[in-house]
Structure 1
Amino acid sequence: MTLLRLSFVSLLLPLSLAANPVMDGADPHVSAVGRDYWLYPTEPRSRNPIFAAYRSSDLRTWKREGTILDLDKVPWVKADGAPWHGAWAPAMAEKRGKFYFYYSVGPQNPTPSRIGVAVGNSPAGPFTDSGKALLTGGDGFEAIDPMVFVDPKDGRAWFYAGGSAGAKLRVFEMADDMISFKREVDVAQPENFTEGAFMHLRDKTYYLSYSHGKWNDSSYSVHYATSDSPTGPWKYRGCILESDDKHQGPGHHSFVENRSTREWFIVYHRWETGRKDPPFRGGRKLAVEKVEYDDKGLIKKIKMTDGKSPVSPIRR
């Protein structure tokens, strides 16, 4: 009991680490808001249904700003009657000065996974849940790993979710309220797609990146495809991040741009082990790497690093 209490208290303290890996956790979503980066991970405690926000000025040193959503206080989560609930794979989107927090709710068996959404006035919250599930799994589809991309070209918002055992990606156009759907778009399944879709726009190219493989073995990796549209059709471009001699299973990532320098970075989780025999156990770690593009706009292979991580303050 004492150890559990100490573990909980430690999560309330500021986190200040300065090297890869930057912290414990998984499934990181990072956004740039003003002069700060905001990170939303799966918290490093199993079956604990909370989410927290972390803030950084340079992508290297992160401070925990506190719990932003407690699923024990969201009534619809327990309505499925499951004996326990997990919280993982969140995403944040901003539109018209409001912040929308999307998140996965388990279990996936015996009750289907669901995705919820909460609304706040700042990236630090507080967030108020919409009052119902946005999307529920079933018929072979797993409602997991949400990501919402607001297209700067026209302001439309696109929702991406799904994967894992069903390995099915679904895409929706969000309604103006950002807590409901306007329509679903029929999309082709990207090559080597497993889960954890992420969309970013650079110049005129839309990059759909995602995880491939099994989450707890060395096959887990990041692949991507490109398109002239946020809904495809996709042109598969290959694997850009995979296991090496020191780290296994890198994936479930996000891309973030420093708008003042036009530099791009990937934030992802990995297992800190060189052994190849799965399943890997213990906690996953978050790391940050700089992303480079070639003269054709294709993403160069990303090498995992230890120790000194990228530093990229956002200037005015």
Structure 2
Amino acid sequence: MKPALSALFSLTAQAMAANPVFPGADPHASLIDGTLWIHPTRSKGGDNFMAFSSKDLVHWQNHGPILDFKDIPWVSADGRAEHGAWAPCLIPKDGKYYFYFSVGPQDATHPSRIGVAVGDSPAGPFKDSGKMLLTGGSGFEAIDPMVFIDPADKRPLLYAGGSAGAKLRVFELKPDMISILREIKVETPPQFTEGVFIHHHGSLYHLTYSHGNFRDATYSVHYATSTSATGPWSYRGVLLKSDGHHQGPGHHSVVEDSKLGTLIVYHRWEQEGPGPYQGSRQIAIDRISYDADGFLKPVTQTNEGVIR
């Protein structure tokens, strides 16, 4: 049964905020006015996006659809019969919310693309800017946008790329947040496949990203740091990997809460064996912490999750 628009649902047998929290993949998490928002890829695929919000990490409110490809003419202009609505990212700026999203898949004749839509709330609705922001091809897959405003100089930076070619690219956006000003040449960090995320903590920029095949146990989160938002990167190893009961963790985001500390929100398979897996990926939330030197420590996947 599909949840009604903005319906509040309680997850069966999960009254204590246990993992997983709900089906989905590629979760972009944001902490906004004490509410945790998650904008994921839908577990059943489809051509639109939903949003989920919670104040206690137990009860989740379902909002949407917040953006539908049928309302975006340039998506269908490539002539492909079906499109994947993948891996979004949300960022607030100057009272508006900017929603970046992937349009896939990519093949020899149809490149992947990234678009951006604008809304007044993280719950949408979002209106597309009217044009694609970035197009793939030539060894680059334009997927998995992550937008970060550099605290050092307030520049909005778009990080993107993965899978086909497994190349990371970074672009400075114009102040309007819907246009590219220029590309910034960066190195691709070791073990990079897709799903990049960056945040600043202490004196370092922490670049985390997924490696491996999302359908099997090789999928994992790797880690690099820099004193700059654009590198060069110092590789720090694996942060999150499969265990005996939870496989293929990855495509994550990191949020910092004044009460709970630092959280990592990611997807995983609740299956055993090496894969390939079938069915739906599941979203989980666990704590992540820093060591005495300011580096992130490896994460242990839990069934208990995080209790606010």
Question: Structure 2 length normalisation: TM-score?
Answer: 0.95
Q: Does 2:10 match 1:16?
A: yes
The aligned residue for residue 281 of structure 1 is 278
**Correspondent of 1:95 among 93, 96, 106:** 93
Q: Percent identity?
A: 56
Q: Which amino acid aligns with 1:83?
A: A
Q: Closer, same or farther in 2 for the Cα pair 1:34/1:10, shift >3 Å?
A: closer
Which segment is superposed worse, 188-197 or 149-158?
A: 149-158
Q: Does 2:109 match 1:113?
A: no
The aligned residue for residue 254 of structure 1 is 253
The aligned residue for residue 306 of structure 2 is 310
The answer (yes or no) to whether the contact 1:199–1:208 under 8 Å persists in 2 is yes
The answer (yes or no) to whether the contact 1:213–1:220 under 8 Å persists in 2 is yes
Which segment is superposed worse, 55-64 or 121-130?
A: 55-64
Q: Deviations over 1:93-122 (max 9, x none)?
A: 111111100000113124111001000111
The aligned residue for residue 3 of structure 1 is none
Local SS of the residue matching 2:83: coil
Q: Which amino acid aligns with 1:124?
A: A
Quote the Cα distance in structure 2 between the aligned partners of 1:294 and 1:162.
Answer: 29
Q: Does 2:175 match 1:176?
A: yes
Q: How do residues 67-146 of structure 1 correspond to structure 2 at under 5 angstroms? A: 67-109=65-107, 110-146=109-145
Quote the Cα distance in structure 1 between the aligned partners of 2:245 and 2:32.
Answer: 33
The answer (yes or no) to whether the contact 1:241–1:250 under 8 Å persists in 2 is yes
Quote the Cα distance in structure 1 between the aligned partners of 2:124 and 2:5.
Answer: 17
The answer (yes or no) to whether the contact 1:60–1:309 under 8 Å persists in 2 is no
The aligned residue for residue 187 of structure 2 is 188
Quote the Cα distance in structure 1 between the aligned partners of 2:20 and 2:96.
Answer: 31
Quote the Cα distance in structure 1 between the aligned partners of 2:6 and 2:62.
Answer: 7
How big is the alpha-carbon RMSD for the aligned residues of Structure 1 and Structure 2? 1.4
The answer (yes or no) to whether the contact 2:146–2:197 under 8 Å persists in 1 is yes
Q: Which amino acid aligns with 2:306?
A: P
The aligned residue for residue 51 of structure 1 is 49
Q: Deviations over 1:2-47 (max 9, x none)?
A: xxxxx4456864332331000000000000111211110001112x
- CA shift, 1:274, in A, is 1.8
**Correspondent of 1:290 among 284, 287, 290:** 287
Structure 2: gaps spanning 5 or more residues: 12-16
Q: How do residues 197-276 of structure 1 correspond to structure 2 at under 5 angstroms? A: 197-258=196-257, 260-261=258-259, 263-276=261-274
Q: Which amino acid aligns with 2:284?
A: A
Q: How do residues 20-35 of structure 1 correspond to structure 2 at under 5 angstroms? A: 20-35=19-34
The answer (yes or no) to whether the contact 2:224–2:237 under 8 Å persists in 1 is yes
The answer (yes or no) to whether the contact 1:117–1:133 under 8 Å persists in 2 is yes
The answer (yes or no) to whether the contact 1:209–1:223 under 8 Å persists in 2 is yes
The answer (yes or no) to whether the contact 1:82–1:107 under 8 Å persists in 2 is no
Quote the Cα distance in structure 1 between the aligned partners of 2:58 and 2:299.
Answer: 18
The aligned residue for residue 14 of structure 2 is none
Local SS of the residue matching 1:134: strand
Q: Which amino acid aligns with 1:286?
A: I
Q: Which amino acid aligns with 1:129?
A: D
Local SS of the residue matching 1:133: strand
